Structure 1
Amino acid sequence: MSFFELLKESNDTNARISTINLQRRSVILPIFMPVATHGVLKASHFRVKDVVLGNTFHLRDLNKDLKDYMGIDACLTDSGGFQIISLKNTINEDGVLFLDYSSDGKLQKEEFSVPEQQEEDIADENFSNFCRNVYCFDCYCEGCPFEEMMREKYLKKYENRVKKIDELYNMYILTPEKSISIQNKLNSDIAMQLDDVIRPESNKRRHLMAVKRSIRWLDRLLHAHKNKTQNIFPIVQGGLHEDLRNFSVEEILKRTKHENVNGIAIGGLCGGESKKLFCEIVFKTSKILRSKFNGPIYVMGVGYPEDVIISICLGSDMSDCVYPTRTARFGRIFTDYGDINLNSYKKEKNTNLNIKINDGKSLNDCKCRTCKNFTLEYLVEIRKTENFCILTTEHNLFYMQNLTDKIKLAIQNDNLLEFLKEWTDKRFGKEKPDWILHVFELLSIKQLNTT
């Protein structure tokens, strides 16, 4: 049985229905994956029916099957790379050094200096010509030939170096080899490569360095990969630069010959770039990938309801984010018409939202246990208790799961355009944001430009 099976494509957008066959079950895409950072969905009793995401860095000492540990059927583990953004660190060719953690992975109070081997300052300059040899370490080179012995020599070097790498640093280092070793033990259905994560606004030459290093790290990870039942997803990088993203795609596609590389992720977004740019990158990158690769496309870090819908229409099959659960703990609950902030519910009275409430309970006919059993007024009253977080989290997770189910049904029934029009009318009214109209232009959806 193949890992990926395409079932149906939308006639009017780039959305599609497909199946991925995992270790214990099959999952129908598109899906949204909630994030269980430490192997626990915070403040939730909700049973996720599809895939849950776990964090490799924070689960590094679990040393057991994550599905058994959580009592779930399917999971994806990230590489630990996101902690490059969220934790104090420095990066070099060996891996990611976390400055607040000792070499055995324990949080430490002592201040350590940054290791001597660190990145040089990269001059900020625009350029169009660049060396496409990922094993050329000169970020100013404009072209030199790749030879297979370069990769072989590099991989051999790290075969020997990783055996003693922890002794070289007085802080915790996450290497591609260590990342995949942890994920192999967690036995996730899908393991993500460790990539060189930088912010979108970083200069272009630093992005070129990140693209090349991420490919080299992918080669190291594949070389060290031991769990043959586990699928590997490489990550497209390149920031906001189309030529660098195309270069990243080109190199990743060469690695899809590996038997375990069965999906590809689009990374490096959701870091403050404009919505228009985000949509253009997802649209163009997905289009290239789908023309040359038969597998799921995972757009990382997408969790706002409107972003999930639009990403699917642009070509995404999978997405994830902490936003639905985190914002629930802060008192915000999702509806088609926008969020309700329960912390200020009495003041707002939600006059700006066309919220239908049945018998003081169900939000827009929501069938989650929270909406079926509790009023908004009750949620407001208990908002300073732990029960509040459980109830709001359950609602938001149900909402996201129900939303992707509705999208799948609309694709199946060939009425995704009608669903998209109805949903965006509810969400934004007559004056839709420019970025939504830009998506309609990208997809040549003329009839949705007006309500």
Structure 2
Amino acid sequence: MDFTLNGVDKRARAGTLKLAHGVVPTPIFMPVGTQASVKSLDAIDLQVHLNAPIILGNTYHLYLRPGANLIKKLSGLHGFSQFQGNFLTDSGGFQAFSLKHNTKAHAEGIVFKSHIDGSLHLFAPQKVLDIQYALNSDICMVLDDLVGLPAPYDRLKRAVEKTTEWARASLKHHQTYAGETNHIFAIVQGGTDPNLRRQSALELGALDFDGYAIGGLAVGESATEMQDTIAHTTEFLATNKPRYLMGVGTPQDILNAIELGVDMFDCVMPTRNARNGTLFTSLGKLSIKARAQKESDAPLDPKCGCYTCKHYSKAYLHHLFKARELLYFRLASLHNLHFYLELVRGARAAILRGEYGAYKARMLSVY
């Protein structure tokens, strides 16, 4: 994997990540496409209207439906979905956490019961990677042991040990079976305990992964605890490898994490909030449900250059939302994802100018 740092402003970083399906400027926000589909959007929306260089797919969900072998037969995620940018796929560790009533620990990995038909499956480190190779993921996440917070120290320590054990097994398998375009990221665990985070980061850093993720956050801890943990963890991550904060978050969270040296982000917030009627603008959050939008011929944001703001009024979007028209989901999702992508693009430009502190302060004055 080719990752180059183009500029640094204190701890904030602007880089370039070169993958098989295109260049990814960092910091970057990755839209979440769990089922090889960002909800309500198609590949043209992602590539033309949003210019998104990388999106997420989910190993657990795609393994269960439609199946990794079918996707492989149909030219991998890129051919199957027609999205020609890059795909990063999660390992299934988060699903084991979020669907914990359906999972149990196993000596070789995680046993889970399908939420679709109740069938039993085992996710082991090697199997998780084989699924991702079949999907032809550009970035494959290794299986990790994710723990909700707060949690006892012994459970967090066991998660760090298991995550390192699985990472070693994953790396060995990857060196033998990966395709030329499949890259691999390890995931740092340890809850909010600084010593465990340091241990996890150093153990994984001693192994030659293509990049490193900070996992196990936004799972019950406070915002202050999350920021303190990110600040501490990034100190022990290699400067020449990309750093990915998983599942986070709000514009504030992203701006704060960029300042602490994080390069990559994903979260369902922009699309989920869009579907529920909350839209992000340069003036703050806007509720499309509000009566004030009913007769407004203005765009959602006069400073926004997204497809939605160029063509449609708040009144029209208000009408679509109230009428429960499916078109609303597409137009609102396009707008919110454009906001998030412009947020990180603005951050990158500010870092390269050496003005990230001022950029962050300006954005946080609204959010």
When the two structures are superposed, what TM-score results if normalisation uses the length of structure 1?
0.73
Q: d(CA) in 1 for partners of 2:201 and 2:85? A: 31
Deviations 1:153-201 (A, max 9, x none): xxxxxxxxxxxxxxxxx71111111100001111111100100111121
Aligned equivalent of 1:69? 80
Q: Does 1:321 align with 2:267?
A: yes
The structure with the larger Rg is: 1
Query: SS at 2:57's partner residue?
Result: strand
Q: Equivalents in 1 of 2:345, 2:202: separation in Å?
A: 33
- 1: CA distance between counterparts of 2:218 and 2:282? 22
The CA deviation string for residues 385-433 of structure 1, in whole angstroms up to 9 with x for no partner, is: 1011111001011111111111111112222222122111222xxxxxx
Aligned counterpart, 1:133: none
Find the partner of 1:372 among 306, 310, 318. Answer: 310
Higher mean displacement: 214-223 or 386-395? 214-223
Corresponding position of 1:196: 145
Matches within 5 A, 1:138-153: none
Q: Which residue of 1 aligns with 2:213?
A: 265
Q: How does 1:352-431 map to 2 (within 5 A)?
A: 360-383=298-321, 384-427=324-367
- Alignment partner of 1:227 is 2:224: no
What does 1:25-424 align with in structure 2 at a 5 Å threshold? 25-45=22-42, 46-47=45-46, 48-60=51-63, 61-63=67-69, 64=72, 65-71=76-82, 72-87=84-99, 88-100=102-114, 107-108=117-118, 171-225=120-174, 226-229=177-180, 230-256=182-208, 261-290=209-238, 293-343=239-289, 345-346=290-291, 349=292, 360-383=298-321, 384-424=324-364
CA distance in 2, matches of 1:391, 1:24: 26
Give the partner amino acid of 2:178: N
SS in 2 for 1:278: helix
Does the CA-based 8 Å contact 2:6-2:352 persist in structure 1?
no
Is this contact kept in 1: 2:34–2:57, CA < 8 A? yes
Measure how far apart 1:378 and its partner are. Answer: 1.2
Q: Which runs of 5 or more structure 1 residues have no equivalent in the other structure?
A: 109-169, 351-357, 428-451
Counterpart of 2:317 in structure 1: which amino acid? L
Quote the sequence identity (%).
34
Dislocated runs of 4+, deviation >4 Å: none
1:245, distance to aligned residue in structure 2 (A): 0.8
User: The residue matched to 1:206 in structure 2 has which SS?
Assistant: helix
Q: Go from structure 1 to structure 2 and tell me whether the alpha carbon gap of 1:342 and 1:359 turns closer, same or farther (over 3 Å shift).
A: closer
In structure 1, distance between residues paired with 2:233 and 2:283: 30
Describe the SS at the equivalent of 2:16: strand
Q: Tell me, in whole angstroms, the C-alpha distance in 2 between the residues paired with 1:370 and 1:26.
A: 26
Q: Please report how far the alpha carbon of residue 23 of structure 1 lies from its aligned counterpart in structure 2 after TM superposition.
A: 1.1
The answer on whether the counterparts of 1:240 and 1:277 sit within 8 Å (CA) in structure 2 is yes
Normalized per residue, the structure richer in strand is 2
> Contact (CA 8 Å) 1:43, 1:393: kept in 2 or not?
yes
Q: 2:255, 2:106 → 1: CA distance?
A: 37
Tell me, what secondary structure is at the counterpart of 2:258?
helix
Given that residues 362 and 372 in structure 1 are in contact (C-alpha distance below 8 angstroms), is that contact kept between their aligned partners in structure 2?
no
Contact 1:187 1:227 in 2 (8 A): no
Do the aligned partners of 2:133 and 2:179 also contact (CA within 8 Å) in 1? no
Partner of 1:3: 2
- Aligned residue-pair number: 344
Does the CA contact (< 8 Å) of 1:331 and 1:389 recur in 2? no
Aligned partner of residue 62 in structure 2, secondary structure: coil
Unmatched 5+ residue regions in structure 2? Answer: none
The CA deviation string for residues 15-49 of structure 1, in whole angstroms up to 9 with x for no partner, is 11111111132211110001100101111242142
**Residue 17 of structure 1 corresponds to which residue in structure 2?**
14
Q: Is the 8 A contact 2:282 2:301 kept in 1?
A: no
Aligned with 1:363: secondary structure? coil
Query: Deviation at 1:360?
Result: 1.2
Q: Which amino acid aligns with 2:117?
A: L
